[in-house]
Structure 1
């Protein structure tokens, strides 16, 4: 019975670790998308400023 409880605890811990990794990956992807959008906006503004200066 004790081994069964240990196996269950290991399985639950493994599942939690997997979920945590997925959440970290999702947060990283979301952050990368935000940074990418900001960079695209900055590039657009720079092109517009350059076009106005010419």
Structure 2
């Protein structure tokens, strides 16, 4: 068995990475936009769930 397993980047991984990055940006810039961190995190989780159903 090959000890090195490479994970290929596919479209689903790219979309989930973008959603994760946008969620983190929204959480860390709470003071700029005024939305609570919890609301941004829940929106990111909901978006990940909805998008995950199509991939």
Q: Which TM-score tier does this pair reach, normalised by the shorter chain?
A: 0.3 to 0.5
Choose 1 or 2 for highest CA Rg. Answer: 1
Identify which of structures 1 and 2 has the higher relative contact order when contacts are C-alpha pairs closer than 8 Å and 6+ apart.
Answer: 2
In proportion to residue count, which structure has more helix? 1
- TM (norm. structure 1) is 0.39
